[in-house]
């Protein structure tokens, strides 16, 4: 395998955020690794068990996907409008989709979790930069 093939095999499949109508983003570009998007439970309603399982066990996978996304940006020479290398992105789940699609789809589970005294959360924000990865969950 030549060097180009090795590099290409390490690059993730790319998603165009313009096709992700349920997500809003703050960045000068619109390409991220699909593996990164797959690690973000946008649109999912997380009861206590699933929330803590995600926090305890999925965050290392999220960090690996974030590192691979940063590598992709560097190798693909993805730049901001001023031609400096891209170094961050913020993703938000569109509230219209949350309240009109996600919540109704999980309505019974939400009611059951609340009646049992459990918190119900959803991923509302994700930040990736050269220095940090942040996720923010909100409660229903």
The reported pLDDT for the residue numbered 1 is: 56
- Our measurement of the distance from residue 18's CA atom to the centroid of its chain's CA atoms, rounded to an integer in Å, reads 14
How large is the C-alpha radius of gyration of the chain?
17
User: Residue 60 falls within a domain, yes or no?
Assistant: yes
Answer yes or no: is 118 within a domain: yes
Q: What is the predicted pLDDT for the residue at 4?
A: 47
- Nearest 5 degrees, angle CA 101-CA 94-CA 114? 55
- pLDDT above 70: residue 134: yes
Q: What is the pTM of this model?
A: 0.83
pLDDT in tens, 49-105: 999 999 999 999 999 999 999 988 888 888 878 888 888 999 999 989 888 988 999
Q: How many other C-beta atoms lie within 10 A of the C-beta of residue 128?
A: 23
pLDDT averaged over every residue in the chain: 88
Predicted local confidence at residue 115, as pLDDT: 93
Domain for residue 80, yes or no?
yes
Is 48 among the domain residues?
Answer: yes
Q: Is the pLDDT reported for residue 39 higher than 50? A: yes
Within a domain: 34: yes
Span 20-49, average pLDDT: 91
DSSP type of residue 13:
P
User: CA–CA separation, 129 vs 89, rounded Å?
Assistant: 7
Would 8 be classed as within a structural domain?
Answer: no
- In this prediction, residues 107-130 reach a mean pLDDT of 93
Report whether pLDDT(12) > 80: no
Q: Residues 26-50: what's their mean pLDDT?
A: 91
Domain around 42? 13-139
Percent of the chain with pLDDT over 70: 92
Share of the chain above pLDDT 90, in %: 56
Q: How many domains are there within the chain?
A: 1
> Is 2 within the bounds of a domain?
no
Burial degree of 92 (CB within 10 A; 0-12, 13-18, 19+): middle
Within a domain: residue 106?
A: yes
Query: Residue 77: what pLDDT?
Result: 84
For residues 25 and 18, give the distance between their C-alpha atoms in angstroms, rounded to a whole number. Answer: 9
CA distance 68 to 119: 32
Between the CA of residue 110 and those of 32, 41, 67, what are the distances in Å? Answer: 31, 16, 33
For residues 93 and 127, give the distance between their C-alpha atoms in angstroms, rounded to a whole number. 12
């Amino acid at each position: 395998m030549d060097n180009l093939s090795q590099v290409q095999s390490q690059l993730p499949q790319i998603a165009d955020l313009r096709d992700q109508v349920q997500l809003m983003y703050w960045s000068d570009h619109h390409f991220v690794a699909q593996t990164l998007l797959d690690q973000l439970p946008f649109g999912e309603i997380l009861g206590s068990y699933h929330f803590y399982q995600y926090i305890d066990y999925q965050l290392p996978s999220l960090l690996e996907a974030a590192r691979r996304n940063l590598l992709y940006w560097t190798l693909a020479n993805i730049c901001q409008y001023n031609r400096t290398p891209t170094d961050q992105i913020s993703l938000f789940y569109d509230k219209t989709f949350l309240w009109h699609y996600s919540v109704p789809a999980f309505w019974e589970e939400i009611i059951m979790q609340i009646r049992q005294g459990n918190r119900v959360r959803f991923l509302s924000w994700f930040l990736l930069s050269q220095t940090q990865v942040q996720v923010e969950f909100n409660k229903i």
